[in-house]
Chains A and B, each alone.
Chain A
Amino acid sequence: MLTITSIRNGIVIDHIRAGLGIRMFYQLGLDKAGYSVALIMNATSTRMGRKDIIKIENSVDFDITMLALIDPNVTVNIIEDEHIVRKVKPELPERVENIITCKNPRCITSVEKYIPQIFTLVNRELGQYRCRYCDEIYTVGKD
């Protein structure tokens, strides 16, 4: 397996469903990061078969609730002095604005771009959100 040096201080986002790592990478703005960042795709995992991992060095200041919107099953490890000091499971927020985009082509948000994209959580277990305008359902990890 491809090896990447472990980090001293920072965050490791683990157990990302294979293929979703790149979306998180961009969502967190890591493409513009000025510090060391690694995106590992298709790593072997005993539990998941294949998974993606993101390692971020020297920065912990992220809104991790956003990660749950892409894949609610990720684990966020906070690393200090090469040890995991905290494991965090991101929780789905009740309401999200301008993160999810409505995929219904008939939705008014597809033509009137000044409108904020607003979704509210309707089913936490299934990870389902509903568009405020057209009621389209967005399922976390699937859409």
Chain B
Amino acid sequence: MLKGRHLLDPTDFSPGELDEIFDFADQIIQTPDQFNHLCDPSILATLFYEPSTRTRFSFEAAMLRLGGKVIGFSEPMSSSVAKGESVADTVRTVACYADIIVMRHPKEGAPRIASQYSPVPVINAGDGGHLHPTQTLTDLLTIRSAKHQLGGLTIGCCGDLKFGRTVHSLIKAASRYPGNKFVLISPAELRVPDYVTADLASKGIAYQEIERLDEVIGNLDVLYMTRVQKERFFNEDDYVRLKDFYILNADKMRLARQDMIVMHPLPRVGEIAYDVDDDPRAYYFKQAKFGMYVRMALISKLLGAC
């Protein structure tokens, strides 16, 4: 039963419950017009304590396409928050007006506080460097749609794996499905934190850490690209020496399998060359669309509208 639940952590829902959301997202993708009045009387509130236009648009578009309405703020300076109101008080007030709350906050754990005070479902739309569960749901739905399964896959994650919370969440969520293997491609100083690999090791899940994308791209079913920012490197020499390893272009795509898919949470800054965009294996813009559909399914399920 998903009605009335909160989504704070991508593993709050069991794989079975996620399948329920993904199955419904598939139905929406097939016949979107059938659902454009599903949430007619409902109001979704977007509380964005820091701006994130992309994520907010995705939630608002999802609600509008379900026939629902949207209220909210997109930066705290324009609201009572600027007067120093606590999260607990803001949420209790907003819950008087809205049926479901989406919160983005620079402080980690803020959506959990919100959920403790809210009588209506709270969705975490990103809390600091901590969690961003609807991005993970987007990623899983994208993989499921392309591969028709979520297990038995070799998933490559490439770029800045140290600070990339989307990658940490994806690894955690995908490691719940049997038979997945992970190939972690990054410079030594930007490897995934130890707790991520310790968690994989404790579950007996195979993983490999490597510096060069071209050496392993031919083994992958899924390639998840992330930004590599210059300022994350310890020195300029390393950056110059390594940066090309983490740029995906048409040359590297020639080494990949015909059925590999390329994903990226967007926005990109140069780690995927434009000559990859027309490749049918490029999924990053479709991924953004799956993001809206999975949010439509999630909102419907939490509201109990279907």
Question: Which positions in A face B, CB cutoff 8 Å?
Answer: 104, 106-112, 114-115, 131-137
Contacts and interface: CB of A to CB of B under 8 A. Distances in A.
B105 A108 contact: yes
A107 B107 contact: yes
Given A114-B86, A134-B108, A108 B129 contact: no
Nearest to A104: B108
Contact of B130 (A110, A111, A135, A137): A135
A110 B107 contact: yes
Interface stretch (B14-22, B109-117, B154-162, B283-291): B109-117
A132 B113 CA distance: 10
A107 to B, nearest CB: 5
Contacts of A131: 109
A107 B112 contact: no
B87 interface: yes
Q: Which 10 A-B pairs have the closest CB atoms?
A: A133-B109, A134-B108, A108-B107, A108-B109, A134-B109, A108-B110, A106-B128, A106-B108, A133-B112, A107-B108
Given A112-B87, A112-B88, A114-B88, A106 B129 contact: yes
Contacts of A136: 108
B195 to A, nearest CB: 8
26 contacts: A106-B106, A106-B107, A106-B108, A106-B130, A107-B107, A107-B108, A108-B87, A108-B107, A108-B109, A108-B112, A108-B113, A108-B127, A109-B109, A112-B113, A115-B113, A131-B109, A132-B109, A132-B112, A133-B109, A133-B112, A133-B113, A134-B127, A134-B128, A134-B130, A135-B108, A135-B130
Contacts of B127: 108, 134
B108 to A, nearest CB: 4
Contacts of A108: 87, 105, 107-110, 112-113, 127
Contacts of A134: 108-109, 127-128, 130
Interface string B80-118: 000000111000000000000000011111101100000
A131 B131 CA distance: 14
Interface in B236-250: none
Interface residues of B, number: 16
Nearest to A115: B113
A132 B112 CA distance: 9
Contacts of B105: 108
Contacts of B128: 106, 134
A110 B127 CA distance: 14
A134 B195 CA distance: 15
Contacts of A137: 195
Nearest to A136: B108
A109, A115, A131, A136 pick with most chain B CB within 10 angstroms: A115
Nearest to B110: A108
A139 to B, nearest CB: 12
B136 to A, nearest CB: 15
B154 to A, nearest CB: 28
A137 B208 CA distance: 25
B255 to A, nearest CB: 37
A119 to B, nearest CB: 12
A104 B107 CA distance: 10
Interface in B56-73: none
Contact of A107 (B86, B87, B109): B109
A110 B113 CA distance: 13
Contacts of B109: 107-109, 131-134
Given A134-B108, A135-B130, 10 more contacts: A104-B108, A106-B107, A107-B109, A108-B107, A108-B113, A111-B107, A114-B86, A115-B113, A133-B112, A134-B127
